[in-house]
Amino acid sequence: MNKRIAQWRLTGKTVAFTNGVFDIMHRGHIASLSQAAAEADYLVVGLNSDASTKRLKGDSRPVNDEQARAIVMASLLMVDAVVLFEEDTPLELITAILPNVIVKGGDYTEEQIVGAKEVKAKGGRVVINPIVAGYSTTGLIGKINTL
């Protein structure tokens, strides 16, 4: 991964980074990823591993395993690279990549965004995208459970 990013940077390209579980892909995810991709030449997505997802979301998650989620994510036109991470946060991944911009959804503040301080210290930016109201994986799971 770092070799590819170094190649991108050698040609003057910029790198955006976002992360999440992306368990059941929905309209909100697509909007957020599209907006993230518009912030730089390349978009790298950090994807929580199954173990990381269980620790963050509980034993009933993820619905889709990490390989299935990675395949779906990598298939999206706006995504240039997908990296699984085992930790609860992507801080280690972010400090290794040092993207030009970190992008997160509007349910976060800049102070809550892991890696924001490190990226800004290297001259990067933090972008918070508005969330698409009415779309969440938790909401979808709740809806499915009532059927």
Per-residue pLDDT tens over the stretch 17-56: 999 999 999 999 999 999 999 999 999 999 999 999 999 9
User: What is the rounded CA–CA span in Å between residue 106 and residue 125?
Assistant: 15
The pLDDT confidence band at residue 10, using thresholds 50, 70 and 90, is very high
Mean pLDDT for 11-18 is 97
* Assigned superfamily of 2-145: HUPs (3.40.50.620)
pLDDT at 29: 93
pLDDT at 135: 67
Per-residue pLDDT tens over the stretch 79-133: 999 999 999 999 999 999 999 999 998 778 899 999 999 999 999 999 999 877 7
In this structure, which amino acid lies at residue 28?
G
pLDDT at 2: 84
Domain range annotation of the chain: 2-145
The CA–CA distances, whole Å, from 104 to 1, 31, 114 equal 21, 11, 10
